[in-house]
Amino acid sequence: MPLIDGLTTLWDTLMSAQPDPPPLLVVLTAAVALAVVVARLPWRIARNAVTIAHEGGHALVALLTGRRLHGIRLHSDTSGLTLSAGRPTGPGMILTLLAGYVAPSLLGLGGAWLLAGNRITLLLWLAVALLLAMLVLIRNLFGVLSLLITGGVVLAVSWYTSPEVQAAFAWTSVWFLLLGGVRPVFELHRQRARGRMPQSDADQLGRITPFPALFWVGLFLVVCLGALAAGALLLAGPILAGAGLTA
């Protein structure tokens, strides 16, 4: 049947593994991602992707813990807001608040796991699917535009570019999430020290748990750095293989 044959072909395409990238590509994409994270203007633009992942983490965990999700707003200053209803305390609220700052790094770790198996097509299509799912939750115009532009770029790369370009884009994106997930935690600590973020996720967690806000900032950092270390090890597979350091 044509439908079954089409679905089989699609499944085979998604699950097929691409060849190992050259070690130089792994190094260059890491360098590009690091440059974007540390440079002021590129970071100011690319940080929107981190905000999308941050708010998406809040939204996903809110749904998984049974909270009523009212929507997501993304702002031009790279801030965001996820509105959910439910108990103001308890495990659901704690996990929802905890999810934001660790989401980009954990998403990057998941991407690194897929790239370690050379599942580039699957990674790109999953990214498009997640962005489309999040789009229906957006409640402001800038947020809609951000999701459409980001999803459009990923879709265009996955559909129209060569395997080499797809590999470079995928590795750069995952490196960016792993590295870019760490910087907002330091920004949070700096802003809190200046008294500018009294309603931050860490401060809200400090008010509804026995642990102070600084504890939660530290936990965010530990998770993000751990994800970066694990993800870097996965992404460095081609380099380790080339050096004969893998089994």
pLDDT in tens, 50-82: 999 999 999 999 999 999 999 999 999 999 999
**Cα-Cα end-to-end distance for the chain:** 43
Paired strand residues for 69: 84
* Category of 229 on φ-ψ map: left (φ > 0), alpha (ψ -120 to 50) or beta: alpha
State pTM to two decimals: 0.92
Q: Which residue from 70, 73, 84 is spatially nearest to 48, judged by alpha carbons?
A: 73
For position 7, what pLDDT does the model report? 59
Amino acid at 16: S
Asked whether residue 4 carries a pLDDT value surpassing 70, the answer given is no
For position 247, what pLDDT does the model report? 47
- Which residues have C-beta within 8 Å of that of residue 76, sequence separation ≥ 6? 142
Within 13 Å and on the Cβ side, how many CA atoms surround 169?
21
Paired strand residues for 132: none
Residue 118's φ and ψ, nearest 5 degrees, are 60, 35
**Do the bridges between strand 68-74 and strand 80-85 make them parallel or antiparallel, or are there none, so unpaired?**
antiparallel
Over residues 15-30, the mean pLDDT reads 87
pLDDT by residue (tens digit) across 125-156? 999 999 999 999 999 999 999 999 999 999 99
